[in-house]
Amino acid sequence: MINFCRKIFNKLYLFFNKMKFSLFGVKYGKNLVVHGHIDLKLNHKAVAKIGNNFYSSNGMSINPICRNITGSITLAPNSKLTIGDNVGISSTCIWVHQSIFIGNYVNIGADSILIDSDCHSLNYIYRQNIKVDIANKINKEIIIEDNVLIGARCIILKGVTIGARSIIGAGSVVTNSIPPDSIAAGNPARLIKSLK
């Protein structure tokens, strides 16, 4: 009975989520599936493009690792989010200030955060005035290359490139770029294995 209700809820969510994505002007490809509640916000002149077969599980839907965590996709004014084909994300927070690029066949584990900005200035004087603070925050593009797997509860910070086919261990904080074909984990994330 509970599973039946979940299926109905997910169908309803899918319908409303597709409507939400379209209303915000997100360009998406074939077979978009978004289950559960996702917060979506595109500010002025922000551009979001999602490829084919995108799957996003959020909150109390079918993926147990999502539990009650709502996913969110937020784009600041003039920012750009590009998501390739066959990407799956679970209750993930993607907050774009400048640019986040996600390639094809990327999986992002539950409750992870991708944020391409410090969000605040590093100068405490600037932080005393919200407008000056925001005007002086540092943004740097994040690039997640094809076939990357990001474990649950990771934080990917500004300026990071994760090379193709690499894996980021659960609970990692990625502060520096990770080469292709590697496993990196920890806080800060360090290489633990080569996959070559």
Ligand X SMILES: CC(C)(COP(=O)(O)OP(=O)(O)OC[C@H]1O[C@@H](n2cnc3c(N)ncnc32)[C@H](O)[C@@H]1OP(=O)(O)O)[C@@H](O)C(=O)NCCC(=O)NCCS
Q: Is 137 exposed, middle or buried (0-12, 13-18, 19+ CB in 10 A)?
A: middle
Among 31, 64, 193, 195, binds ligand X (CB under 6 A): 193
State yes or no: residue 170 binds ligand X (CB under 6 A): yes
Residue written as token pair 């289950």:
35
- We find the least distance from the C-beta atom of residue 193 to ligand X, in angstroms, to be 6
The whole-angstrom separation of Cα 163 and Cα 161 is: 6
Which listed range, 6-14, 74-82, 132-140, 179-187, lies at the site for ligand X (CB under 6 A)? Answer: 179-187
- We find the least distance from the C-beta atom of residue 188 to ligand X, in angstroms, to be 11
HSE, CB side, 13 Å, CA atoms: give it for residue 189. 29
Q: Which two tokens stand for residue 141?
A: 């593009």
Letters for 55-94 (x = contact with ligand X by CB under 6 A, - = none) are ----------x------------------------x----
Q: Which of 71, 90, 79, 13 is nearest to 42 (CA)?
A: 79
Q: Residues interacting with ligand X, by CB under 6 A? A: 65, 90, 109-110, 151-152, 167, 169-172, 183, 185-186, 192-193
